[in-house]
Structure 1
């Protein structure tokens, strides 16, 4: 092997520094060691890499031709070293997270952006799942973390971290009966007869029970599908405030009014994991970033 990680480092340091002395300072060596390393590399390649006619080390055409590939190789070696160190510290090959569809908008994606930067080789799988499906995936060990709405009870098998809250707004198309009656708030009986569209898997019980208010239910597998049906006038729905705010301002949606409760529902969010399953480095870092992101979120009452 002619090139090694050390000879690549020396070669690129001379290119970047413009002289053997500058490369020596960067690598913490004496100039004579840099000069000897380059001379040995040139001998093995049978190529002149630098013109030494002046005090500067001017790259030859051969050196410039080798430079792009050399930089790519050293970059790959650095990535390999970083991945090996991360694996030594417990980095999992893949981090799988189940996220309730209503939470795909807003601040809950920020930790994933940070993880992608810090662990570029970590595979991340984000599974959109209703409340009950996300919990099932977690207990079946098919995901390591689940991001869901707070539940009334506590499962002793789980640990959790508070991750802020999400404001849901009851909305309908302006030509929907629920919207046409918005001047007169809907009674509980009127509300129960209006078709509600919710995100759930197979049955309305797959969604948070606080969201399901009607006897007439249509199900979808995503909040975008729900939004499309609502805009078509086929029913009303609770949807995330960040998603519907522009449509409400533009008059494309109307907020549904109820006579016995507010049309906006704030639900707290938890990240949960199984106590008996040790978390890898990526999952632990995800939770740390979550704590940073929501450090100033008001505590739940």
Structure 2
């Protein structure tokens, strides 16, 4: 016999209610109909699920063995029914989101986690790349939205919402050059002559040159690799403070002290999408969660 959703509903109603009468009230059916349906189910399965008392229906060992599986299936069916309703109301079946590798992923991941709790059956894809690459993926339709640094030139084809902020912080290795020449406070202009390690696209030119200070710079498309290069003394870096907090805490890199200015360039963080592809239900929910600092 193949168990159907109504059989699982009936079984759980009797277990939770403790009697056929309670199950009948919960399912809005006659007690005699519940008793007959359960008897038919037991006959079809070839096992006794309940010991019938005067007022109670006590689950047998066989019923208790089936109970956790029945609850799991019932929960999955409930999620499925809810997802069907959400799809009918316009929920995307799949959403692809981008995160700039230059940024701290923690706020983004918290929002993704909250979105998955709100829509458990939603298929979510997350891509991480330098922000110039992400904006190209966005323009091509490969992703629905991306979280990137904002505040540069405004693209009339894009739409954005402020979701946070961070500061670019200049750091050097604590053990290797050029740290040896920068232990004492220095003028920020002196960084121009020191090699800079930059997180950038493999192929595209930097659209936003604000993080770029050094006349000479080496590129990598990975923030962890950039930090490793700075730590090895291959150059200095200008990275988002939140994204490098753990590395700074190790003491292997340190902030540069400047004589003529502070060390930290505040920049806004935006969620960006295309004007001709407005955010759907899941996209708008993600934006709300991200802006609110989920959970």
* TM-score of the pair, normalised by structure 1: 0.87
Distance in 1 (CA, whole Å) between partners of 2:177 and 2:49 is 79
Q: Is the 8 A contact 1:18 1:56 kept in 2?
A: yes
Correspondence for 1:224: 224
* 3-state SS of paired residue (1:206): coil
- Which runs of 5 or more structure 2 residues have no equivalent in the other structure? none
Match of 1:298 in 2: none
Is 2:168–2:211's contact at 8 Å kept on the other side of the alignment? no
Paired residue secondary structure (2:35): helix
CA distance in 2, matches of 1:224, 1:231: 10
CA deviation map 1:149-187 (0-9, x unaligned)? 114332222211111101221111113444332313135
| 2: CA distance, partners of 1:14 / 1:138 | 52
In the TM superposition, what is the alpha-carbon distance from 1:207 to its structure 2 partner?
Answer: 6.2
Structure 1 match to 2:186: 185
Report the equivalent of 1:45: 45
User: Helix, strand or coil for the counterpart of 1:16?
Assistant: helix
Whether contact under 8 Å (2:167, 2:265) holds in the other structure is yes
Distance 1:227 1:170 in 2: 12
* Residue correspondence of structure 1 range 196-235 to structure 2 within 5 A: 196-202=196-202, 205-206=205-206, 208-235=208-235
Deviation at 1:94, TM superposition (A): 2.1
Correspondence for 1:18: 18
CA deviation map 1:102-132 (0-9, x unaligned): 2243423221010111122222222112222
Q: Using the TM superposition, name which of 198-207 and 144-153 deviates more.
A: 198-207
1:113 to 2:113 alignment: yes
8 A contact 1:198–1:204 mirrored in 2: no
**What residue number does 1:67 align with?**
67
TM-score normalised over the length of structure 2: 0.89
Q: Quote the Cα distance in structure 1 between the aligned partners of 2:281 and 2:37.
A: 39
Distance (whole Å) between structure 1 residues aligned to residue 132 and residue 257 of structure 2: 28
- Corresponding residue number in structure 1 for 2:264: 264
**Which residue is equivalent to 1:299?**
none
Evaluate the alpha carbon distance shift between residue 101 and residue 5 of structure 1 in structure 2; reply closer, same or farther with a 3 A threshold: same
Match of 1:170 in 2: 170
Give SS of 1:58's match. strand
User: C-alpha distance in 1, partners of 2:158/2:33?
Assistant: 58
CA distance in 1, matches of 2:2, 2:221: 57
Contact 1:106 1:242 in 2 (8 A): no
Give the structure 1 partner of residue 102 of structure 2: 102
Cα pair distance change 1:143/1:82, threshold 3 Å: same
- RMSD between aligned residues: 2.4
Q: Secondary structure at the match of 2:38?
A: helix
Comparing 237-246 with 120-129, greater Cα deviation is found at: 237-246
In 2, are the aligned partners of 1:97 and 1:127 still within 8 Å (CA)? yes
Q: Deviations over 1:256-286 (max 9, x none)?
A: 1344443212110111111111432211211
In the alignment, structure 1 segments of 5+ residues that lack a partner are 295-301
